[in-house]
């Protein structure tokens, strides 16, 4: 199995980082906590699962749009299955699920390729960064038109193959940046697409991906917030102060890149610590555990603010 360039890049960045560092003792403490936790099941209640082709189209659109829900004066939300307010990722997943159930033609490649603001709002309401999201969905539609189907496009067979395919043909999945003269990838949404295909199909059929170990953590906003709260992710004081003051950290800045690299590398170290404790977990499963823990609204620090289409 070829090496994942995200894993290699994160390790390389952390050997040069100036703005962040990782605290080994706190990391070992969290590993002991995680050892007692159960890896969460893929949340079927909020996701669409139906016929193979429509489910794959749904997942592709879902993960194309899975970025940056925080901009705006008011938190974006939709009504959930029990009348509750959903926001962020779960609002996106459930809004698209309703579309797949009630208007499956929404996911026809030709419709995605020419989706309008009106059609988008019908499915998801006043979601933030709407112009960017329209462009992203149109890219997905054009890729599906070229290949004829989501199954043909994804070539479902391996995580490495899916990541290579979507980053080659959909520009908005090319989550990479320049750090100290080297292009470094993170591929958050492309990698999470693999875990979603695996989860939605229960590891069978299109979800039978033999290289799930290849995946790294999905570097986003919430995991570094949680790692900081546990004393693992240490930040230079001026960077911590900017985040605590809700000041934006520019996309592609050394600070932002190092935060994401620290997240990926910390999860790799947690995987190793858990193995030493006799509990084998893969990086994407540790990511799921941490992301679920991060949904606690009482964390002592805010997440960093970076306006981006990549996470």
Active site residues: 220
C-alpha 230/C-alpha 233 separation (Å) is 8
Query: Is 162 within 8 Å of 156 (Cβ atoms)?
Result: yes
Q: By three-state DSSP, how is residue 214 classified? A: helix
Q: Which helix (H) or strand (E) segment is 23 a member of?
A: none
DSSP result, 139-206? HHHHHHHHHSSHHHHHT-S-HHHHHHHHHHH-GGG--EEEETTEEEE--HHHHHHHHHHHHHTTTSGG
- Residues 70, 228, 260, 143, Cα dihedral to 10°: -40
C-alpha 310/C-alpha 161 separation (Å) is 19
Q: By three-state DSSP, how is residue 7 classified? A: helix
């Amino acid at each position: 199995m070829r090496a994942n360039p995200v894993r290699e890049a994160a390790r390389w960045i952390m050997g040069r980082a100036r703005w962040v560092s990782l605290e080994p003792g706190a990391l070992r403490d969290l590993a002991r906590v995680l050892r007692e936790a159960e890896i969460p099941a893929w949340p079927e209640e909020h996701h669409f699962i139906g016929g193979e082709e429509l489910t794959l189209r749904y997942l592709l659109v879902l993960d194309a749009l899975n970025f940056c829900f925080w901009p705006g004066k008011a938190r974006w939300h939709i009504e959930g299955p029990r009348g509750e307010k959903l926001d962020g990722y779960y609002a996106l997943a459930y809004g698209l699920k309703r579309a797949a159930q009630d208007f499956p033609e929404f996911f026809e490649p030709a419709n995605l390729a020419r989706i309008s603001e009106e059609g988008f709002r019908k499915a998801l309401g006043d979601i933030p960064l709407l112009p960017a999201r329209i462009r992203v969905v149109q890219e997905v539609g054009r890729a599906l038109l070229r290949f004829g189907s989501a199954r043909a496009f994804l070539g479902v067979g391996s995580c490495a193959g899916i990541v290579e395919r979507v980053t080659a043909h959909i520009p908005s999945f090319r989550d990479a940046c320049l750090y100290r003269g080297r292009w470094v990838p993170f591929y958050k949404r492309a990698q999470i697409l693999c875990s979603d295909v695996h989860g939605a199909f229960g590891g069978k059929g299109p979800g039978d991906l033999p290289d799930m170990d290849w995946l790294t953590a999905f570097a986003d906003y919430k995991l570094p917030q949680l790692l900081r709260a546990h004393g693992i992710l240490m930040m230079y004081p001026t960077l911590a102060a900017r985040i605590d003051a809700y000041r934006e950290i520019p996309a592609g800045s050394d600070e932002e890149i190092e935060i994401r690299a620290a997240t990926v590398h910390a999860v790799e170290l947690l995987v190793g610590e858990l193995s030493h404790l006799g509990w084998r977990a893969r990086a994407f499963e540790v990511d799921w555990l941490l992301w679920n823990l991060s949904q606690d609204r009482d964390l002592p620090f805010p997440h960093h603010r970076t306006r981006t289409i990549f996470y």
